[in-house]
Chains A and B, each alone.
Chain A
Amino acid sequence: MARKIVFTSGKGGVGKTTLVSQIGRKLASLNNRVLLVDADFSLNNLDLALGVENFVVYDLFDVLSGNCRIRQAFIKDKYEKNLYILPSDKLSANSSFSAQNIKTALLGVSKLFDFILIDSPAGIDNGFKRAVLCADEAVVVINSSFESLRDADKVINIIKSYDIDKVSLILNRARGDLMMSGYGVSAENVKDLLKCSLLGVVPDSDALLTLDGKKLSRLSSADKAISMICNKILTGRGDIYDPTLKYKGFFGSIKRSLRKSN
């Protein structure tokens, strides 16, 4: 049976869709069978994040309405043979389909996958609840902004009141240069503040920002951070990416001053 993990957040635009697609690709490249489900019915972008938006024929709406079988709606990723996407183009935020409807649909294919990653909408409305209730584990994506941290605390408390086995955090778009200058919120601070375990840290990275569905360069720091997260997902152990590392030492201080002047 697949592990079903929902990626959610209080604040929007923190990187859920980006992380679902890149963590999905990385897990698939490590020989895991992975399905990505777009449960963000209003602002569905998972197809775009993986560059398969032109291949959508059937979607989750068709599956839930009985217009097609679930496997007919799967789109195979361009780069990873073990990765499939279940898009949600035709659904709207106030769709009447429930988490139970989606869970039942996924149950039939759960044996075919090792992981089902669910992309949730931001906020704490029905769409969020629907997405979270489909999963057994939750990852709350945050960035260092105070709004994102405050909203995340509310989200974590709601998730903890559901039947979810595990909740953890990913600090995305971490700015090592700011952390070094004492401005950014450190991973340790975040863990303490939100009383939640940390699954990983992903740096603010141009490689991710300019990806457009293509494959992430193996040489990028974001790729390294995502590999470390996948290792933690797979083994339950491992280190967390340190975004301050490349800003340490003599060359690091030059990089830091260059970045700050941007």
Chain B
Amino acid sequence: MAFRKNKKSEEFLRLENLIEKDRLGTTCDFSTLFKIDIENLFSEYCELSDKPIISLTREKDTFIISVTVKANRIKTFAVSKN
């Protein structure tokens, strides 16, 4: 087949986000907030070398959430016992 993969325009990415939101039955802001929070949480424990890759899919009544995080260093700290 002779088709090239068109470079995805900003508009097309908007549509991709919208469809992802439709599939999950969430609001547009959910994904953005979720991604920011996950990044913040992991940053507490590791020095991230890249942004986390988060994929959210829905299979019938179950959500499958997978998070891939790459880090340069795991932070070392002790937990106080009081």
Contacts and interface: CB of A to CB of B under 8 A. Distances in A.
Interface in B5-63: 5-9, 11-12, 15-16, 18-19, 22-23
B1 A185 contact: no
Interface of B: 1-9, 11-12, 15-16, 18-19, 22-23
18 contacts: A149-B15, A150-B18, A150-B19, A179-B6, A184-B6, A186-B3, A186-B4, A186-B6, A188-B6, A189-B5, A189-B6, A189-B8, A189-B12, A194-B19, A239-B1, A240-B3, A242-B3, A245-B2
Interface of A: 146, 149-150, 153-154, 157, 179, 182-189, 192-194, 239-240, 242, 244-245
Output the residue of B3, B7, B15 with the most chain A CB within 10 A.
B3
A193 B4 contact: no
B26 to A, nearest CB: 15
A186 B5 contact: yes
Contacts of A153: 19, 22-23
A22 B77 CA distance: 70
B36 to A, nearest CB: 25
A153 B11 CA distance: 17
A239 B2 CA distance: 9
Given A182-B6, A240-B1, 9 more contacts: A149-B15, A149-B19, A150-B15, A186-B4, A189-B6, A193-B16, A193-B19, A240-B3, A244-B2
